[in-house]
Structure 1
Amino acid sequence: MRLGKWGLCVLLMLPLAGCLGGGQQTVAQPVAAAAPVEAAAPAAAAVVPEPAPAPSPAPGPADQTATAAAPASTKPVADWGALFVAGDNSIKAFDNATRRFYAIIERKPDVNLRRLTSDPSIAPSEEEIADVGTIDASLGFITKGQNEKCLVFMTSHGTRDGFYLSQANGTGGLLPPRVLDQWLDNHCGVRPTVVIVSACYSGIFLKDGMEQPNRIILTAARDDRPSFGCGAGETYTYYDKCLLDSWTWAYTWTELYDRTKACVAEREVALGAKPSEPQAFFGDAVANLEMP
């Protein structure tokens, strides 16, 4: 049974195990609640549509001539809509990754972009703070046309139950795969869609309906493995750095996955860590999808 758009929830978990950095486990601060509970997503503000304009009178002959002579619009149609989400502000690595990835895609022609942070001190407005309602609304923003392919990049801590959002509901919580799946259905539909989830145990985002023929999904780890590089002194997590460094040299999503996975494995061997084993899914309908 699928979730209604406004009935989505974020599952609060106490405490939250963070990613591993420099071989040592870091633990995000627990949310301020008396006990682990399941909390309903904050109610989204009602969107009041603007009143429809009054119909214009039928054009006369002169008006018709002017209309016929008017040149067609030359505004380009966006090829991609891209959303970048930094889910936690306990370290700078997550915002560093979304900022750099945004800058890469921003140089491409004909894209709709939105970047969300979990650091209120740098967010231009509340609409740019990563929370349940803002992620949902931002997916609607980047797909406001009819032709945009969808790209979603999310980086944060994670658990076996979801992706951590430190600002969710004002206290922090988890975004589970089934909720993201519902949002993607609502806003991206059957359009080509690429989802990149960088977090511990992010292989869970290959479950709960996420694997669709029109989707490519890349994750930083297996569903039972942590990922690395979440230390306070790290500029990027291991996976994010490998992904961003590989982007310039990759021509296909498959090649990007292979290069990123090999890079991560090399860094983990040097660390002496148990492999995180990044995962991927390539839907049949998008097996040859071009990168933006």
Structure 2
Amino acid sequence: MRSVLTILLAFAAGVLVTLWLPGRPGTPSLPEHHPADLPPASASMSPGVSYAAGFEADSEGDDWPPEGPTPEQVLYAQPRLLRDALARVTPRIAGKPNLYLLTFAGDGAEDVFHNEAEYAAKLFTTRFGATAHSLVLENNPATLTSHPLASWSNLDAALAGLGKLMRPEQDILLLYISSHGSEDHTLLVDMDPLPLDQIGAQDLAGILAMHPFKWKVVVINACYSGGFVPPLRAPDTLVLAAARTDRSSFGCGSDSDITYFGKAWLVDALNHTDNFVDAFRQASSEIRQWERQDKLTPSEPQIDIGIGIENQLALWRKGFTPGPAVAFKPPVAAPAAAATTTK
């Protein structure tokens, strides 16, 4: 039944994309997505909260806002929401490398991921000047009508859209993913009861390979995210992972506002340096202290630095003077999201 529903919805979305997008000058077209059969991290922070393999979505849709749009309305609105989000991306600054941040908050059952995705977008565009641009994909009951979903289809389409706004040989793509992760290195993509495809390590590498970006920074903030490093490794890519391939990361859960890695790398480190590698080293040290204090098994964040990416990031940094620190303040939930629960 799920397969049939997925096929019908994908077909309908494709028809809507075809009908809505032609004739709109300056707006990137959105490709169709062909889903595969594929099989999920971490203030105030909540120490010791992590999710392991076997995480299952709540089939009853308890997180859906009772006063919000219907699931069908949300699905049919995706082409428009993504088109509008791409249209809001700030103009490219000519004559220097630009950085395009795409955030992806995968699990709609916990605000922590949504908080992190929106904060990252605010941090980059406020602190790193006009050469930094952002687009947010997120699953959250409070943003069903304001932001495109974090889904396989929207990730692929957003990358295609950004590819038409960027100069792929000069500009840098920064993909920041925050969600739960499983021991088989699969990200949880969930906005229950929508039938969303999950994204594994090889899947993500395949999605990125379909687009023409030369320079990439990929940040995977999830349990077991070290398993994403090998398939994403490339000479022109910086890969950051919140945990070792066989370790959990921490700070997620209903009592958390931001994950351990999100607080350490985004809030504490990037508010003091614009160097992503230096920020990672600072964040790793800070996370070790928190884990030791809370008597947790060390997550051991991972980094892989392609031979060319640091020079390109340095060129980008020359194009702006960092602004002041950006305080982290969790967004206030909309009334329609007040009745949400946590899995």
TM range (shorter): 0.7 to 0.9
Higher helix proportion, which one? 2
State the alpha-carbon separation in 2 of the partners of residues 173 and 228 from structure 1.
Answer: 24
Which residue does 2:137 correspond to in 1? Answer: 116
Farther-moved stretch of structure 1 (262-271 vs 137-146):
137-146
Farther-moved stretch of structure 1 (83-92 vs 175-184):
175-184
Which residue does 2:150 correspond to in 1? Answer: 130
Question: What aligned pairs does 1:200-211 form with structure 2 within 5 A after superposition?
Answer: 200-208=223-231, 210-211=232-233
State the alpha-carbon separation in 2 of the partners of residues 165 and 284 from structure 1.
Answer: 32
Query: By how many angstroms is 1:11 displaced?
Result: 2.4
Check conservation: 1:9, 1:179, Cα contact below 8 A: no
Question: What aligned pairs does 1:17-96 form with structure 2 within 5 A after superposition?
Answer: 21-25=46-50, 29-30=56-57, 32=59, 76-77=93-94, 79-96=98-115
Which residue does 1:233 correspond to in 2? Answer: 255
State the AA in 2 paired with 1:97: E
Q: Deviations over 1:37-92 (max 9, x none)?
A: xxxxx9xx99xxxxxxxxxxxxxxxxxxxxxxxxxxx9733712210111112211
**Counterpart check, 1:218 vs 2:240:** yes
Q: Counterpart of 1:257 in 2: which secondary structure?
A: helix
Q: Counterpart of 2:273 in 1: which secondary structure?
A: coil
Query: By how many angstroms is 1:270 displaced?
Result: 1.0
Q: Counterpart of 1:207 in 2: which secondary structure?
A: helix
Q: Counterpart of 1:102 in 2: which secondary structure?
A: helix
Check conservation: 1:214, 1:284, Cα contact below 8 A: yes
State the AA in 1 paired with 2:149: I
Check conservation: 1:225, 1:276, Cα contact below 8 A: yes
Which residue does 1:185 correspond to in 2? Answer: 209
Which residue does 1:199 correspond to in 2? Answer: 222
State the alpha-carbon separation in 2 of the partners of residues 269 and 286 from structure 1.
Answer: 32
Of residues 172, 180, 201, the one that matches 1:149 is 172
Identity %: 23
State the alpha-carbon separation in 2 of the partners of residues 187 and 128 from structure 1.
Answer: 20
State the alpha-carbon separation in 1 of the partners of residues 92 and 235 from structure 2.
Answer: 31
Query: By how many angstroms is 1:7 displaced?
Result: 4.5
Which residue does 1:167 correspond to in 2? Answer: 191
CA RMSD after TM alignment: 2.9
State the alpha-carbon separation in 2 of the partners of residues 75 and 120 from structure 1.
Answer: 31
Unaligned stretches of 5+ residues in structure 1:
34-41, 47-73
Q: Counterpart of 1:256 in 2: which secondary structure?
A: helix
Q: Counterpart of 1:171 in 2: which secondary structure?
A: coil
CA distance 1:184–1:287, shift in 2 (3 Å):
same
CA distance 1:211–1:85, shift in 2 (3 Å):
same
Which residue does 1:68 correspond to in 2? Answer: none
Unaligned stretches of 5+ residues in structure 2:
1-31, 61-74, 80-90, 318-343
Question: What aligned pairs does 1:101-112 form with structure 2 within 5 A after superposition?
Answer: 101-107=120-126, 108-112=129-133
Question: What aligned pairs does 1:248-267 form with structure 2 within 5 A after superposition?
Answer: 248-267=271-290
Q: Counterpart of 1:178 in 2: which secondary structure?
A: helix
Q: Deviations over 1:239-276 (max 9, x none)?
A: 11101111022242221110110111111111100000
Query: By how many angstroms is 1:131 displaced?
Result: 0.8
- TM-score w.r.t. the length of structure 1 is 0.74
State the AA in 1 paired with 2:110: I
Q: Deviations over 1:188-238 (max 9, x none)?
A: 43x211000100000011123x10101000000011000011121111111
CA distance 1:258–1:92, shift in 2 (3 Å):
same
Q: Counterpart of 1:224 in 2: which secondary structure?
A: coil
Query: By how many angstroms is 1:184 displaced?
Result: 1.7
Q: Deviations over 1:261-292 (max 9, x none)?
A: 01111111111000000000000111332366
State the alpha-carbon separation in 1 of the partners of residues 180 and 37 from structure 2.
Answer: 15
Check conservation: 1:131, 1:168, Cα contact below 8 A: no
State the AA in 1 paired with 2:48: G
Query: By how many angstroms is 1:10 displaced?
Result: 5.8
Check conservation: 1:31, 1:171, Cα contact below 8 A: no
Q: Counterpart of 1:158 in 2: which secondary structure?
A: coil
Which residue does 1:99 correspond to in 2? Answer: 118
State the AA in 1 paired with 2:134: L
Check conservation: 2:105, 2:113, Cα contact below 8 A: yes
Which residue does 2:321 correspond to in 1? Answer: none
State the alpha-carbon separation in 2 of the partners of residues 75 and 196 from structure 1.
Answer: 23
Paired residues, number: 244
Higher strand proportion, which one? 1
Which residue does 1:52 correspond to in 2? Answer: none
Q: Counterpart of 1:243 in 2: which secondary structure?
A: helix
**Counterpart check, 1:280 vs 2:300:** no
